[in-house]
Structure 1
Amino acid sequence: MARLLSFTSVLALIAASASAADMNFNRVASFATPQNMAQGEDANRESSSEIIAATEDGLRLVYTDSPLGAIGMIDITDPTTPKPLGNIDMGGEPTSVTVIGSTAFAAINTSENYVAVGGKLLTIDLDGKSIAAECDLGGQPDSIARSKDGSFIVIAIENERDEDLNEGVIPQMPAGQVAMIDVSEGVADCASLRFADVTGLAEVAPEDPEPEFVDINGLGETVVTLQENNHIVVLDRDGKVVSHFPAGSVTLENVDLTDERGALRFTETQADRKREPDAVKWIDDTHFATANEGDYEGGSRGWTIFNKDGTVVYDSGTSFEHAVIEAGHYPDKRSDAKGVEPESIEFASFDGVPYVFVGAERASVVGVYDVSDPAAPVLRQILPSGIAPEGIVALPSRNLLVTANEADLVEDGGVRSHVMVYERQDALAAYPQITSAGADTLIGWGALSGLAADPENDGILYAVNDSFYGYQPSIFTIDATQVPARITSVVEITRAGQTAQKLDLEGVTTDGDGGFWLASEGRTDRLIPHAIYHVDAEGRIKQEIPLPAELLAQEKRFGMEGIARDGDTLWMPVQRPWNDDASNEVKLVAYNTSTEEWGAVRYPLDAPADAGWVGLSDIEIHGEHAYVIERDNQIGAKAAIKKIYRVAMSDLSPAPLGGELPLVEKQPVRDLLPDLKALNGFVVDKVEGLAMDTEGKAYIVTDNDGVDDSSGETLFFTVDAMAPASN
């Protein structure tokens, strides 16, 4: 069997040959929270990793799991192989956790409703997995933080608003406050509990402060974000106000504010958008950084560094969101809300380099910023995370970074909540593998489906997006000679001078004359036709060819998934069986552009390994074979079939529709599961695009579903040779 090189293998070779690679964070492991469930427990219960902390030796992680009413623990002695340590029942909803030594302190919400509020602080012996002490907090807690010396703890008592009451408008009593409690001999001293009054400070609902997040600097000062009030307060160790100030607002330019599913147009402006910070972290004793999520009336889509006197030292404006857009992680469905929604933030110094880590909840990424100059942070990386990063903890003594990602899609059969571990390495950044950074204009992209190679220029590819971007069907030009691959330009598909509607592009191939043939999957219940489109180099539709009646009479929802050209013949795989197919067979449909004749052959599918279905995703013709992607629709640990097969071109002799169709024989070429696991995340569902250059190098891309119930990761990798797999 020929030696095959994945994208990450190429990265390793490049890194090894480099004289001095930059230090980068790369993911080394992922841990699904259901692994912490006890034997016999229903693994299909919702579970979620939210706020996360670590023991001081850096060997164990502790995270809150509010759906289970527990805190979970993970052994990361070997960070590449996290091991479950089980859950500890909290008797309520844990909202936050911190650790001193090997003792955890968890804030627990016990409120009956938004008025009858309650909460407690638990001291937890992690070694014995037992509750060592319990203190009544008298209100609904949110964030918790420990002092640097471990002598006291601060808790934000939010007493959050009811968003369904009076349209969520504040004030809504009872008011929030900040709790402080000493730690004595490793246990919270309930008798020392005191409260800092932060009413009467904010311009927005001053009588109803809603403390959201707290952090403590080396001087023992606590910074508190009042998120809905768009205000920030700094307290001394005794709870006295050192300073307070509005968080302010930002005017955002070149943003997408339109809740129009399926179009990435960054042309709008939003004036005076309130920051409404959520998470906050001290950088030093004078500066702190905020993640400006918004929740009430704002959300500036960015993050800010403040001086504790209220001076804005730095604001990211739209630069962070634009970097997320270039990485293909922009959540279009959140355009009219808060965009990428920065929510979590962490600070730590690694080998003397100070970093701020910004988690974007809706984009499912973490921005890594070098803040050596707090007035001019430098974005070093965009890290892929699980769905909805909620908590971040840095472990510089072990060169590790960890994210807790709260979304658990168990009810939809989707991916589970994950904790992800990254290591700072002397290596190239493994992600993103494809980006639009460096293009002449800001290019938003996602949901890449079909892929094709330029026949004249090796390494130049073309990709299309699918129906998620139904208001912006496009062809992207990709320069795959660069690492990462670069989307350099885009043309939108038009009809009579207007953006073409009712397209579900799943395949693209060149026409040999500067234009393209496109396959649209179609869905008749949404009035999207199954069709082939011929477009010129500018994306203008020249010809629309509907499927013939003989095919449409047998139509089921899933249609053509890819297109390839062999001279005058176009070949298109139908993704799943239609009404006249056997349950484990699909058609490869042929259309002759010269004679306008249709035909087909039958293709045998693998049987599903467990649940779900198996179908085809793309087709490519190279030499004497046609290559197809065959995959199941499973994700994460359930994924079993993500493969490339090939069929001899001599077998592709299409028979007329309506008669007996020949059954082709397939040969396995490559199991893609190892490639999909190479970045140490969970296995993504949709391997969608396949292209091959003149030398036979294959390019493969995954579909990120437009970052909708998806981590947004797009994997793009190469295979140097496509020989049949050995048995």
Structure 2
Amino acid sequence: MKPSNRRFVPGRRPAIGRACVALALGLGSLALIACGGSDDEAAPTPPEPTPVGLSLEKIGAYDGGALGAAEITAFDARSKRLFVVNGANGTVDVLDLANPAAPVKLATISVASLGAAVNSVAVHDGLVALAVEASPKTAPGKVAFYNAADLAALGSVTVGALPDMLVFTPDGSKLLVANEGEPNSYGLPDSADPEGSISIVTLNRSGSTIAPTVATADFGAFNTQIDALRAAGVRIYGPGATVAQDLEPEYIALSDDGRTAWITLQENNAVAVLDVAAARVTAIRPLGLKDHNLAGFGLDASDEDGGTDTNSGTPLLKIGPQPVKGMYLPDAIASYMVGGQTYLLTANEGDARADWPGFNEETRVRAHCSAGLDPAVFGADAARLLLDSNLGRLRITTSPNGNDSGKNALGQCTQLTSFGGRSFSIWNADLVRVFDSGDQLEQRTSALPNAAFNASHDNNSLDSRSASKGPEPEGVVIGRFGARSFAFIGLERVGGVMVYDISIPSAPSFVSYLNTRSADTDDRGPEGLALIQAAQSPNGKPLLVVGHEVSGTTAVLQINLSY
């Protein structure tokens, strides 16, 4: 889920002349680059071929045997080892991927002496980094480092509360950590709400040793700007929380030069911008709301839409425009370059604060709008829209932003705000949206041979997730092959990986989709995606590794390029 790391390995200097040769490790090819001295001219670099098509093929798998046994994955090309976060045990499974068709478990990394569990893993040139949650989760966490080849422990550093994702800079000199800082509850005697932050770990690597130092980018400077942030659309709404406490960093994307990072603040419907060298958050950008009432931006809003104006309908596939606003609430974010400009892609999963005592923002339209919908906003259909076969079952928030309940003085709802965009979006570097996939993900999963429409990852029931967040796009990685860039997007609920050509940021095009579940068995709940470049792949083909949280399976997908 991070930008591709292109390593250049110096070749041996020839005995005569001043030429040198470097191996460029690209996504789709192995290119020789000649770099001459004063007596030689540099040979032109042969262009990497551009594919005309792409498909995914499942070639291997490993079954962790338990719910949560496969979450985030990372690959080390030197040792041909795959590191898989095992959420069931709070550990990391180490798999031999020398034969991608038959992964074999080699070992397990336990962090029992450091904290409660591993939340994420990243690898760079033989160095493995693990994000370790503390016990309790509101206490500062740790990042632990290991040598990929022999799993030797290389030390650890203390970071912020609930480190949830980590990524190396492209040159491998630093590691960035998103410390989510979730509360354990609100308004109770033992309530604790730590501040969210980003840790910047400078590795100071020398051979097989590191001497890491940590800098912290926090949000304290924004505490006095709470009213302005809310007015701009940043959701700050945890009871009694300051800005720094309420912001929850989720996922990180880096610029190609490693100088700038963009961090999703999922629950806050915003993205933070980080100056990496200065370890300072320079801006917080709101993402705004998606209008589901526009053509092509609709949704299936009910699991009881098989009747007409009723509260006792049956499931039915029914995608269309609805007078609902959707909060993007992205989980994963990735960056890529087009024409010298950086673009960001977000997987708009959606997330509600409903998992701990003292506060629950999640409700349904009919329950929340018991006084009705404001007819000045919703028109003559206001009364019928409340019925379960229409919008009554849709899950929405009670707290769009701060104390704003989305109601008028009569208690009538003036806005219905749902969780997640059921889409992916592309933004420029200033977080101005240039594209959203609208309702394409629901449309393209509406007639699967192996899973019911909007089924969840723990059942195969038609419409199971229609009233919630639909297919829930969660993970994303971007790969460049020749002159084209492709996004690989994991759909957490219905499953599978959607592939889009995003070479033109304002006009992506659908390429392929592979879903390897079988009803309510096999691969379910894709969580983390890892792209392995062809030059680093054990079989010489680009691979996509997908960790499936619910089925506990790790799938190895081969990316087949056609020319």
| Fold shared by both chains (TM-score > 0.5) | yes
CA contact (8 A) 1:107 1:120 kept: yes
In structure 2, the CA distance between the partners of 1:67 and 1:111, relative to structure 1 (3 Å rule), is same
Partner of 2:202: 182
Q: What is the one-letter code of the residue matched to 1:173? A: D
Instruction: Specify which of 88, 94, 98 is matched with residue 67 of structure 1.
Output: 88
In structure 2, the CA distance between the partners of 1:188 and 1:136, relative to structure 1 (3 Å rule), is farther
Q: Are 1:212 and 2:212 counterparts?
A: no
Instruction: Specify which of 419, 422, 441 is matched with residue 557 of structure 2.
Output: 422
Q: Runs of 5+ in structure 2 lacking a partner? A: 1-50, 237-242, 305-313, 353-396, 398-418, 456-462, 517-522
CA contact (8 A) 2:61 2:554 kept: yes
Task: State the distance in 2 between where 1:295 and 1:219 align.
Answer: 31
Q: What is the one-letter code of the residue matched to 1:335? A: S
| 1:342-371 C-alpha deviation (Å, 9 max, x unpaired) | 111111113443111111100111111111
CA contact (8 A) 1:247 1:277 kept: no
CA contact (8 A) 1:244 1:310 kept: no
Instruction: Specify which of 462, 466, 469 is matched with residue 338 of structure 1.
Output: 469
Task: State the distance in 2 between where 1:403 and 1:195 align.
Answer: 31
Partner of 1:393: 530
- 1:332-481 equivalent positions in 2, closer than 5 A: 332-385=463-516, 386-397=523-534, 398=537, 399-408=542-551, 417-425=552-560
Total equivalences in the alignment: 385
Q: CA offset at residue 144 of structure 1?
A: 0.7
Q: Are 1:250 and 2:250 counterparts?
A: no
Partner of 2:274: 235
Task: State the distance in 1 between where 2:263 and 2:126 align.
Answer: 26
Q: CA offset at residue 124 of structure 1?
A: 1.1
- SS of the aligned residue for 1:320 comes to helix
Q: What is the one-letter code of the residue matched to 1:403? A: V
Task: State the distance in 2 between where 1:209 and 1:187 align.
Answer: 34
- 1:663-682 equivalent positions in 2, closer than 5 A: none
CA contact (8 A) 2:160 2:197 kept: no
CA contact (8 A) 2:91 2:108 kept: yes
Task: State the distance in 2 between where 1:308 and 1:254 align.
Answer: 27
Q: What is the one-letter code of the residue matched to 1:393? A: A
CA contact (8 A) 1:244 1:309 kept: no
Q: What is the one-letter code of the residue matched to 2:81? A: R
- SS of the aligned residue for 2:503 comes to coil
Q: What is the one-letter code of the residue matched to 1:248? A: G
CA contact (8 A) 1:50 1:64 kept: yes
In structure 2, the CA distance between the partners of 1:426 and 1:211, relative to structure 1 (3 Å rule), is closer
Taking structure 2 as the reference length, what is the TM-score of the superposition?
Answer: 0.64
- 1:100-179 equivalent positions in 2, closer than 5 A: 100-113=124-137, 116-162=138-184, 165=186, 173-179=193-199
CA contact (8 A) 1:133 1:187 kept: no
| 1:532-551 C-alpha deviation (Å, 9 max, x unpaired) | xxxxxxxxxxxxxxxxxxxx
Q: Are 1:300 and 2:421 counterparts?
A: yes
In structure 2, the CA distance between the partners of 1:226 and 1:172, relative to structure 1 (3 Å rule), is farther
The structure whose Rg is larger is: 1
CA contact (8 A) 1:25 1:424 kept: yes
* Structure with greater contact order relative to length (CA < 8 Å, sep ≥ 6): 2
In structure 2, the CA distance between the partners of 1:336 and 1:240, relative to structure 1 (3 Å rule), is same
Task: State the distance in 1 between where 2:170 and 2:329 align.
Answer: 26
Instruction: Specify which of 252, 261, 277 is matched with residue 330 of structure 2.
Output: 277
Task: State the distance in 2 between where 1:137 and 1:192 align.
Answer: 8
- SS of the aligned residue for 1:310 comes to coil
Q: Runs of 5+ in structure 1 lacking a partner? A: 1-19, 35-44, 409-416, 429-727
CA contact (8 A) 2:154 2:210 kept: no
Q: CA offset at residue 24 of structure 1?
A: 1.7
CA contact (8 A) 1:365 1:389 kept: yes
Q: What is the one-letter code of the residue matched to 1:87? A: T
Partner of 1:465: none
Equivalent pairs: percent with the same residue?
26
CA contact (8 A) 1:123 1:187 kept: no
Task: State the distance in 1 between where 2:531 and 2:432 align.
Answer: 27
Two-structure CA RMSD over aligned residues (Å): 2.5
Q: What is the one-letter code of the residue matched to 2:217? A: F
